[in-house]
Amino acid sequence: AQSVTQLGSHVSVSEGALVLLRCNYSSSVPPYLFWYVQYPNQGLQLLLKYTSAATLVKGINGFEAEFKKSETSFHLTKPSAHMSDAAEYFCAVSPDDKIIFGKGTRLHILP
């Protein structure tokens, strides 16, 4: 079965520093991939999605992700962290009619 693995359940970065959240997927074909963000006591909101039109995908709030087929990865980055980025981030894959989520990475921003 297809799945995604998020490395690190918690990541801490200083305000202004680079944010890197890792996601690897298991798939024999290029999958449909997503990153979602969840703020406290809220539902999930789409950050970005892979569309196969470009390997570098830009999302909301300055986030972007790069699809690397050779590494089966879809890591999420942001050049400069802001306090408002503190949230939980989920990578997801949609191999068929389902959408399967990773276990999430909670991002902490240090002042």
Partner 1 sequence: NAGVTQTPKFRVLKTGQSMTLLCAQDMNHEYMYWYRQDPGMGLRLIHYSVGEGTTAKGEVPDGYNVSRLKKQNFLLGLESAAPSQTSVYFCASSSRRQGGNTEAFFGQGTRLTVV
Task: Kindly state whether residue 37 participates in binding partner 1, applying the rule CB under 8 A.
Answer: no
Alpha carbon distance 30, 49 (integer Å): 13
Alpha carbon distance 18, 107 (integer Å): 12
Give min distance, CB of 21 to partner 1, in A.
Answer: 14
Task: Kindly state whether residue 93 participates in binding partner 1, applying the rule CB under 8 A.
Answer: no
Give the interface segment with partner 1, choosing from 20-28, 31-39, 60-68, 77-85 (CB under 8 A).
31-39
Partners of 48 in the beta sheet? 35
Q: Which lies closer to partner 1 via its Cβ, residue 48 or residue 81?
A: 48
Other beta carbons less than 10 A from residue 87's beta carbon: 21
CB 64 within 8 A of CB 58: yes
Give min distance, CB of 35 to partner 1, in A.
Answer: 10
Q: How far is CA 55 from the centre of its chain?
A: 14
Task: Kindly state whether residue 98 participates in binding partner 1, applying the rule CB under 8 A.
Answer: yes
Q: Which residues bind partner 1 (CB under 8 A)?
A: 9, 32-34, 41-46, 49-52, 90, 94, 97-104
